[in-house]
Structure 1
């Protein structure tokens, strides 16, 4: 019951933050007028600003945050480690590498950059899985392999930037920051379809995922096909992370913090998939509002805000894990 109440509260918070964000900008719109416009009763100017300029950005933010929150919850549950996040494992860096290859080597279009990011994330996820495999994928070996792959891919990204010309390098750096600026309906629909397919698939396997947290032997005894469930959900997590990165760039630390905060709110063991998804959406939309308004006239990319907050959270998490004797 508490978990359900947390999910409802987070959905309300995400909706409220979305309405406030849609009304925020150079042409402010009161929340009442935003709601009226969303229901089709606004004037022509408000219809254009809300539906064409600001609503797609907010929807991309919600979908990216939800995808990262769910992907982070899956990785943390599969690795049984609070550091098992796409940020730490190198999946975001892998997606960045794929995008940089397209930008730097081929000067590709926005659609080609998106495809490159997806391929980069999938290749990196496959490499981590194969390198971490030893009669299954377990705990700290998975995380350590991911950290190693992340370091290698980060070095490759740095090399690609140094080989780019000035225009492509500037374009690549802007993309690598992670931002929702300029997002339109062309980014909304692929993310929406991806979530429509992957979220029900993940939720349908939630019971098997909970069983795997008790250990492989117990899971096999309960009739769970452990490696099948693990591979399926890991593939879903990679696709969710890569798709989110392709849409908004590598927005840091949402995948790390959202599942942990969701678990603290629900006070429930297990992956807390729905709560993590809602928490991710709420975090990213709130961070985007802060990026636009909390720094005066200087609007920041949302990746800067989440990176600062997530870095502080990661340091706190490492300190608590060390005090608990787990690292």
Structure 2
């Protein structure tokens, strides 16, 4: 017990830990109450921005730490383990870090299986989802979202020596019509799978857990349609561990455009506060050139980003 009459024991720390892992009984310290308790006990955790920080961070579960859910296992180039063993890397890892720096706080990745991401968000396992997340109709029932931080699209990939696509370049404006009559591969669960399945003039070949690029190079399929970030890593070799494949080439600009956003639990009473803070951070990162630099580094930059205000 300190001078204020507040008991600070290892039991408090243990229960705080168990709260985060979902193992407490009826007595818990929710993340939103922890700063208040610590302040009453003379602690120094604060929701105020650190010296030099431009943006507040009052909406966090735990003061001073932005906790974000994502799947790092096989998660390149979004977030993944550096092949040299030095830790997590990826363009979304860099975005999370840039947001945290503007707030004068730290950031913490919380490894979560993608299929369980929504459930984990609702359970309060972390503050937000940053993982190639989209504001789908189903997710809008339980989540709120920030502004878009990346305007992505579906990219067509073909064999470099395929005479059927010899005259096609990355500057062309293409669509699903250009794939009619062909057998096209994509990853199971990817947005492209739905697009291809809905077009009966295309023969769909889905791949799980592998990706279709090897089969394309071997001539087992005619083309691949998949998210541009996946192509940047597995075909163009962007980022550590990236796999540049000289047997394949990109044709056409990305199409069927969508937006990556940060997802927050709608039922969290601090969600709206945190969303406003994150939007402030993203606006700053768009205007100061940080997002552009990240996307250029990971070979994701294109003129389509102007649509969401990235300079």
TM class, shorter-length: under 0.3
So what's the TM-score if we normalise by structure 2? Answer: 0.24
Q: If each structure's helix is expressed as a fraction of its own residues, which one has the higher value?
A: 1
Give the number of the structure whose alpha-carbon radius of gyration is greater.
Answer: 2
